A and B are shown apart, each in its own frame.
Chain A
Amino acid sequence: MTFFGDPEVWLPLVFAGLMGFSILVYVVLDGFDLGVGILFAGAGSEERRDRMVASIGPFWDANETWLVLAVGILLVAFPVAHGTILTALYLPVALMLLGLILRGVAFEFRAKAPARQKWAWDVAFFGGSLLTALSQGFMLGMYIMGLEWSWMTASFAILTALCLVAGYAFIGACWLIIKTEGELQRGSVRAAQWALWGVVAGIAAVSIATPLVSPRILERWFSIPEIFVLIPLPVGSIVLVAVLAVILRHLPDATDTWSWLPFAGGTALFATAFTGLAYSFYPYVVPGDMTIYEAAAAPESLIIILVGSLFVLPVIVSYSVLAYTVFRGKASELRYD
């Protein structure tokens, strides 16, 4: 392995990259599932709720698996960090798991339970999605605050929790703009317009808070020459937000040609924000406490996983593309036959 240099240096970096990629894919993909669940509350009619569920029906399970992969990589590549982070976030993790359980099962139960119980599973679907988004946002906030519990950090985490709900609602609304038509599509455009400002608030809050909390992050961003390389990130975000706001004002268009644009723009915005965040924290996996190099598992075990993932990940991506292709177009009624 000397050809690539010291594996104790590049292996942790590769796995941190893989983990970051999985988290980003999860946030976009299950983000839209959870967003649809959050927007469920304002759907208005059962027919619309059914259509919203149909728009994510064939996908949500695979989307959720990216979370398992992300936490799996944290578990297998950075075992010590996995324990430290998850014990520090014990309660929000438990709440998120309850939320994921409710969301996932409500999906099936609402279609199969007796009709008069359907409302209860609809509530569970909305409540589970909301609880999941809130707990994930709370965990994000606590992570940014260095996993320290105090009134100040918890308040910030509550703010990021609310912003992530808005973020998921935004990407969920963008998804519905692609997958629906008529009044549901128009309503989704309005929801996306509102939620976009929540996203802006969230990105702004995190961008202001991170350098304030950590002098190290402040220095990483505001030193020369780094600042010139980094400037596209904030500028890009501002441009994306402006473009999204303009596009949303012109949707839905008469021929429905551009309905995919908000989702694409939203994904780019999420990716930009995520890259900035990842840059801030590198090389730490437990903020300010443990670097990816200190937390990494033994190289001989990481190599075994890496070799497998080089074969398997492209296959996963290609059959995921197949599934999205099979179920392209406007969502129709979910049928087993």
Chain B
Amino acid sequence: MDALILSRIQFGANISFHILFPTITIALGWLLLFFKLRFNATGEEGWMDAYRFFVKVFALTFALGVVSGITMSFQFGTNWPGFMEHVGNIAGPLLAYEIMTAFFLEAVFLGIMLFGFRRVPGWLHTLATFLVAFGTTMSAFWILVLNSWMHTPAGFEMRDGVAHATDWFAIVFNPSMPYRLLHMLLASGLTCAFLIAGLSAFRLLRGDRSVGVQKAMKTGVIVAAGLIPLQILAGDMHGLNTLEHQPAKVAAMEGNWETGPHVPLVLFAVPDQGARQNNYEISIPSGASLVLKHDPAGVVPGLNDFVAADGTPLHPPVAPVFYGFRVMVGTGMAMLGLSFLGVFLMIRRRKTQPHMAERLGKWPLRAFVAMTFSGWVATLAGWYVTEIGRQPWLVTGVLTTADAVADVPATMVLSTLIGYLTVYATLTIAYISVLFYLARKASNSASPVSLPEAPRSAAAAPKLLPVGVSQ
């Protein structure tokens, strides 16, 4: 393999590992603030218990996000020097503002938020929690501005092959930014909601009947059920925006080869880029036209429109974009089903069952445990769709990925890649194990045996343990 593909894999691995953690902390910061404010308002110890448990999750997740994020800022130089050489005048200020308005804010107040409870007045602790949540969101804002600009660049002119800013408002509010930011923030909310629900369900299955875990479970399910319809709507809007600005990406997502009306919605297929057709296709007639143009006769672009005269494809590789999109949508549908079922059960058994464990029942709780990290699956799949969908461009129409790569020997890239992958795999396993270990420890210290069902559910729980969890 050459240095280009290895560098792409390396950057992909780094950024995939990194995004796992901010995806959780962006929303978890706000939910911790919610727990804290509920405690301040009601004085109920349960809210503070929920805060104390999830602040540990937050601290661990935040540390992983910070260290994996630092890698990114160096990788621009080590692997992609062409990026800053050509578009540094645009990317630079955006990254600088991210560091100055977000990184320091969250890093400094994190110390007070985590360890300052006894040292500062209550209002300052609440303020620190707010500022950490605000900082993580600001960080998401700036990085998504830059990422969106790479997809739909605006507000600049090229002079001698170098981009120069002409209109900062147009750069920041570039055409895809509002949709992408909204889509990502909702993804963070969903990832976090399912993490909270999953860990709480795990504790409930182990017989934990503490007030804190029930409040957390309820919060997780309701937030998930509230956000998923919004996410589907935002995803649709983002898709239409992509259709307008990056039609080749949408054609790859839909697996549509020929431009025309009445394009079917391909539910499943095995796209064959060599033969330029789909095999084993299952589709709904006129479905894609209906979804993308809201009209069965709507004309939808096909991949064959994006081929150079000599036959070189000018569209992204079809298979990863096509499959990635289906994984994301499929996970979203599972999220929709489970969170709605959760809310339905919680309402129906509200009068008859006092505890969340019985209200939700064993199988839905197990499903929530299985879906603990479903947000990661959907988020990664979505990012692969949009980023691979941008290829062969690094900045659409301005700079190709191949033109930005460093002239570093492939063996060097490969050896560091192996190093990173080893560390990332170890840390991901350690992270997941420690989260479930913390949940187990919390449920052991809560009152476990007050109800007759408790020992039975506790015995059933180990079967659900994910890989890497030791007893």
Using a CB–CB cutoff of 8 Å, the interface residues on chain A facing chain B are 57-59, 61-62, 64-65, 67-69, 71-77, 79-80, 82-87, 89-91, 93-94, 97-98, 100-105, 107-109, 112-114, 297-298, 300-301, 304-305, 308-309, 312-313, 316, 319-320, 322-323, 326-327, 334-337
CA gap between A309 and B99 in the complex, in Å: 10
Known: A71-B74, A107-B63. A83 touches B84 (CB 8 A): yes
Q: Indicate if B447 sits at the interface (CB-CB under 8 A).
A: no
Partner of B420, one of A62, A83, A98, A335: A98
Known: A68-B99, A77-B92. A94 touches B78 (CB 8 A): yes
Partner of B73, one of A71, A113, A297: A71
Interface residues of B in 280-325 (CB under 8 A from A): none
Chain A neighbourhood of B82, CB < 8 A = 83
Tell me whether A297 and B92 are in contact (CB under 8 A).
Answer: yes
Tell me whether B430 and A113 are in contact (CB under 8 A).
Answer: yes
Chain A neighbourhood of B237, CB < 8 A = none
Residue pairs across A and B with CB atoms within 8 Å: the count is 221
Main secondary structure, interface of B, reads helix
Contacts beyond the supplied A58-B115, A94-B419, A320-B104: 5 A-B pairs with Cβ under 8 Å: A65-B104, A71-B74, A90-B412, A107-B63, A112-B437
Tell me whether A320 and B108 are in contact (CB under 8 A).
Answer: yes
CA gap between A59 and B84 in the complex, in Å: 31
Chain B neighbourhood of A71, CB < 8 A = 73-74, 77
Q: Indicate if B67 sits at the interface (CB-CB under 8 A).
A: yes
Chain A neighbourhood of B430, CB < 8 A = 105, 109, 113
CA gap between A76 and B73 in the complex, in Å: 11
CA gap between A64 and B108 in the complex, in Å: 11
CA gap between A104 and B112 in the complex, in Å: 18
Chain B neighbourhood of A300, CB < 8 A = 89, 164-165
Known: A62-B107, A94-B78. A83 touches B406 (CB 8 A): yes
Tell me whether B70 and A312 are in contact (CB under 8 A).
Answer: no
Interface residues of B in 82-125 (CB under 8 A from A): 82, 84-85, 88-93, 95-97, 99-101, 103-105, 107-112, 114-120
CA gap between A337 and B52 in the complex, in Å: 7
Known: A58-B115, A71-B73, A297-B89. A104 touches B78 (CB 8 A): no
Chain B neighbourhood of A112, CB < 8 A = 56, 60, 434, 437-438
Question: In the complex, how many residues of chain B place their beta carbon closer than 8 angstroms to a beta carbon of chain A?
Answer: 70
CA gap between A300 and B167 in the complex, in Å: 11
Taking the closest CB of chain B, its distance from the CB of A326, in whole angstroms, is: 5
Tell me whether A58 and B63 are in contact (CB under 8 A).
Answer: no
Partner of A305, one of B76, B92, B412: B92
Tell me whether B434 and A105 are in contact (CB under 8 A).
Answer: no
Taking the closest CB of chain B, its distance from the CB of A111, in whole angstroms, is: 8
Tell me whether A326 and B165 are in contact (CB under 8 A).
Answer: no
CA gap between A298 and B159 in the complex, in Å: 11
Partner of A82, one of B77, B104, B118: B77
Q: Indicate if B344 sits at the interface (CB-CB under 8 A).
A: no
Q: Indicate if B453 sits at the interface (CB-CB under 8 A).
A: no
Tell me whether A298 and B164 are in contact (CB under 8 A).
Answer: yes
Tell me whether A87 and B107 are in contact (CB under 8 A).
Answer: no
Q: Considering only CB atoms, which chain A residue lies closest to B470 in the complex? A: A114
Q: Considering only CB atoms, which chain B residue lies closest to A57 in the complex? A: B115
Chain B neighbourhood of A334, CB < 8 A = 115
Partner of B408, one of A67, A75, A90, A100: A90
Chain B neighbourhood of A312, CB < 8 A = 100-101
Chain A neighbourhood of B118, CB < 8 A = 335, 337
Tell me whether A75 and B97 are in contact (CB under 8 A).
Answer: no
Taking the closest CB of chain B, its distance from the CB of A139, in whole angstroms, is: 11
| Pairs across A and B, CB under 8 Å, 19 listed | A64-B107, A72-B95, A73-B96, A75-B77, A76-B84, A76-B93, A79-B88, A82-B76, A87-B78, A93-B74, A94-B419, A104-B63, A105-B64, A108-B64, A109-B430, A112-B434, A114-B470, A305-B92, A326-B111
Tell me whether A97 and B74 are in contact (CB under 8 A).
Answer: yes
Taking the closest CB of chain B, its distance from the CB of A275, in whole angstroms, is: 24
Taking the closest CB of chain B, its distance from the CB of A321, in whole angstroms, is: 10
Taking the closest CB of chain A, its distance from the CB of B118, in whole angstroms, is: 7
Chain A neighbourhood of B407, CB < 8 A = 87
Partner of A104, one of B66, B76, B77, B93: B66
Partner of B92, one of A59, A85, A301: A301
Partner of B74, one of A86, A102, A108: A86
Chain A neighbourhood of B78, CB < 8 A = 86-87, 89-90, 93-94
